[in-house]
Structure 1
Amino acid sequence: MTGVVILLALILFSIFGPMLSDYNPNRRAGGPHVMPSQEHVLGTTRMGKDVFTQLAYGGRISLTVGFGAGLTAALIGLAIGISAGYFGGRVDDILTFFVNVVLVLPGLPLIIVIATMVETASPWVIGAVLAATGWGWSARTIRTQTLSLRTREFVLSAELMGEKKWRIILVEIFPNMLSFFMSGLVLGTIAAILAEAALEFIGLGDPNAITWGTMLFWAQNNLALQSNAWWEIWPPCIAIMLTGAALVMVNFSVDEITNPQLRASRKIGLIRKFLSSRGRSADVF
């Protein structure tokens, strides 16, 4: 719940934050490097742009690119992994070949090459490349799990009853893949947000776009650290850090909810702690 609350707060801030500001993120709103005040809640940049406004607008693109790339990669990995593991045979050979090809494709160097070819890579180009190259590990994990599930009694029973393959995949197999799907989604989203911010920070993205990465890029170029303008650097850094932390919390919770063994071990740990606090023995566990 903590992760969900933090994530919802960041999303709502990105959606409604610009409505709380009267400034344009691309235009001068005050003097250079004005400290946080009532007029400028998070201060201004060296170019006089309002940091609060840029943070809100930047969250829209950064979160959209991150969630879009993570969700796309997770869905591709889920579809290919289940198909390869369930159908087997030649289908498995062909899909596994593509998975191996994707696994050896370096995502960040590929984006760097594309950025040099198109002069400036927009956040959407970065997200598309990350989505196209980030589903390999998820697909391999799901394929391995599907290979073990397709010989289970409930899958064989559904096949003997004449259920259609698509229904077996959606109703019988997919629910057992929820934790793997969420793990791929969360890790892919975190990787996309960090990669997009890192590439724009080193100048390979579009400097005219307003994202958390470009905020750090301009802060570095404007010598914010040397000028002791901490308010230009910390807001995007904290936003990226909170997003990653919230997604990791959600990932741990979903893994525990969908894994009965983890739920049982947590309950046993809570009971042991309770008995120990009361001075009773917990050797029975």
Structure 2
Amino acid sequence: MVLRFLSGWKVRAGLTVFLLFCLLALLGPWFCSSVLHISPTALDVDSVSTPPSAGHLLGTTASGQDVLAQLITGARQSMIAGLVASVLGTSIAVLVGVTAGLAGGVVDSVLTALTNVFLTMPAFALIFVISGYTQGGGPVVIGIIIGIFGWAGGTRALRSQTLSLRNRDFVVAMRMLGESRVRLALVEVLPHLIGWISAMFLGGFVGGVLAEAGLAFLGLSSASTVSWGSMISEAQQGNALLGGMWWWFAPPGLCIALLGASVTLVNFGIDEISNPRLRNARRTLVRRARQAAVKGADSDE
């Protein structure tokens, strides 16, 4: 299955870019200080709002801070927020969705009602208000807030899939043998939901990064940490767009876009494996391509 997952160019391209961003988040601060010898907070008063040059590869901000150092260092903060939001949101969605689907009855009704309540809530508005009270908490706190309000959509999908699996012969047989619901969920149900859970996790990760960037742009992130969102926010406050300082706001925006695109490409690969229709469609396309190649070779002869 792993080889089949990695066989598509979309997955390989997406994983390559995503892993590069992960390395950037893990080793970025060390790389800046030990290899490039640049700091995201150091002020160069002689190079204020300068375009990319040999001394500053991505230019400087209106305060003389190195944009490249901020870009590399900010990757960790943005991805931590996305990771925390994704782990928390996916965990809650799996717990509530699978429990509701397997339990049924009153438990299902209560959990479904709770899910519907969270679905009708103005999530970003609530995140905005709560983040205002916890301002300065850092990317972990922001990720927790995003995860708490970002699980409901995935829960409904997992509940629907669990209800379908609940009536399958192998699940009914295990239930008749007296297996507990916990074992049914862990052994019989969750393995069939790996594709859904993986796609939900990756989607939640990108959503967390985008939400953190939005909150930072609105000035609700910690002032002591640098993230891609805070870079865009400072560029907006410094009139970078009107001043033509594209090197200040374009790199973080491009990184967010590339990260989202890489995760989307990986999601395509997951869908092709977990969705039988897409898997069969891909096989049909491959077979037709081979037939066309054979016909082309025969015609040349």
**Above 0.5 in TM-score?**
yes
Name the CA distance, whole Å, in 2 between partners of 1:119 and 1:157.
52
The within-5 A match list for 1:68-147 is 68-118=84-134, 122-147=138-163
Name the CA distance, whole Å, in 1 between partners of 2:135 and 2:214.
17
Q: Which residue of 1 aligns with 2:40?
A: 25
Conserved in 2, the CA contact under 8 Å of 1:34 and 1:45?
yes
Conserved in 1, the CA contact under 8 Å of 2:43 and 2:63?
yes
| Structure 2, gaps ≥5 residues long | 1-11, 297-301
Name the CA distance, whole Å, in 2 between partners of 1:76 and 1:38.
48
CA change 1:116–1:258 in 2 (3 A) is: closer
Name the CA distance, whole Å, in 1 between partners of 2:150 and 2:288.
41
Structure 1 window deviating more from structure 2 (267-276 vs 150-159): it is 267-276
* SS in structure 2 of the partner of residue 66 of structure 1: helix
Q: Which residue of 2 aligns with 1:2?
A: 13
Match of 2:173 among 157, 161, 166: 157
Q: How many residues align?
A: 280
The within-5 A match list for 1:260-275 is 260-275=276-291
In structure 2, give the amino acid aligned to 1:180.
W
| Structure 1, gaps ≥5 residues long | 281-285
Name the CA distance, whole Å, in 2 between partners of 1:154 and 1:116.
49
Conserved in 2, the CA contact under 8 Å of 1:82 and 1:143?
yes
Conserved in 1, the CA contact under 8 Å of 2:89 and 2:150?
yes
Conserved in 2, the CA contact under 8 Å of 1:74 and 1:184?
yes
The within-5 A match list for 1:1-285 is 1-21=12-32, 22-29=37-44, 31-118=47-134, 122-279=138-295
How far 1:59 sits from its partner (Å)? 0.6
* SS in structure 2 of the partner of residue 233 of structure 1: helix
Conserved in 2, the CA contact under 8 Å of 1:73 and 1:131?
yes
Conserved in 1, the CA contact under 8 Å of 2:77 and 2:227?
yes
How far 1:116 sits from its partner (Å)? 4.2
Deviations 1:5-42 (A, max 9, x none): 10110111122222232232122146112222232221
Conserved in 2, the CA contact under 8 Å of 1:102 and 1:133?
yes
In structure 2, give the amino acid aligned to 1:171.
V
Deviations 1:262-282 (A, max 9, x none): 2222011111123234448xx
Name the CA distance, whole Å, in 1 between partners of 2:131 and 2:278.
44
Conserved in 2, the CA contact under 8 Å of 1:80 and 1:139?
yes
* SS in structure 2 of the partner of residue 46 of structure 1: coil
Percent sequence identity over matched residues? Answer: 36
In structure 2, give the amino acid aligned to 1:250.
V
In structure 2, give the amino acid aligned to 1:215.
M
How far 1:122 sits from its partner (Å)? 4.2
Name the CA distance, whole Å, in 1 between partners of 2:84 and 2:114.
22
Conserved in 2, the CA contact under 8 Å of 1:107 and 1:129?
no
Q: Which residue of 2 aligns with 1:283?
A: none
How far 1:112 sits from its partner (Å)? 2.2
In structure 1, give the amino acid aligned to 2:204.
G
Name the CA distance, whole Å, in 2 between partners of 1:35 and 1:20.
22
In structure 2, give the amino acid aligned to 1:78.
V
